[in-house]
Amino acid sequence: MLSDSDRKTLLRIARETIEAAVTGTAAPQIAVESEALEAPCGAFVTMKNDGRLRGCIGTFVAQGPLYRTVLEMASAATRDPRFLGDPVTAGELERIDIEISALSPLEKVDDPLRDIELGRHGIYVQGPYGSGCFLPQVATETGWSKEEFLSHCCMGKAGMPPDAWKSPEVTVSRFEAEIFGEKEEPD
């Protein structure tokens, strides 16, 4: 678990990195003194403007410490391929809300319907011709069933048929995420 101070530091890193990327200024120089922030950890950084997705990029494989992963993913989120035709602008920075998902390691599941708990687990689906993932909060936000969660990931993210998750050629893995943001949702 990250402390409140760790969370605030990561959100500051993400905010300063996004602002630098959008305005074309130098990325922030970061010094951290927290063991949790120095530990290797995968992470996703999500940007929304008035609840509308504006970028979400992440990695499951920790290439370095968590704080560095957040910095790199925040910068990459400003170049999310889905929004290349409508990139985040300096004028909307004050309306951008940032959410960070610090990830547990991937764990392959044998029976996705039994082994995945909606709202708790995210999924990563890998097939011979594509892969895709959904963070745990996607199931909560959409209200999908497990079958819908898996099918939408296969079809919409991995470019596979909706029922590809049932195939022995497709690997389904789960993960958990510690999710926090600038705009915390009310209880």
- Give 38-86 pLDDT, tens digit per residue: 999 999 999 999 989 999 999 988 889 999 999 999 999 999 999 999 9
Q: Please report, for the domain that includes residue 71, its CATH number.
A: 3.30.700.20
Q: Which of 52, 77, 103 is the last residue of a domain?
A: 103
Residue-averaged pLDDT of the chain: 93
H or E segment to which residue 68 belongs: helix 66-77
Q: Is residue 184 situated within a structural domain? A: no
Judge if 17 and 98 occupy the same domain: yes
Out of 52, 76, 103, pick the residue that ends a domain.
103
Q: Which helix (H) or strand (E) holds 139?
A: helix 136-142
Q: Looking at the structure, do residues 9 and 99 belong to the same domain, yes or no?
A: yes
Question: Residue 174 belongs to what H/E stretch?
Answer: strand 171-175
- Residue 37 belongs to domain spanning: 4-103
pTM score: 0.87
- For residue 84, being part of any structural domain is answered with yes
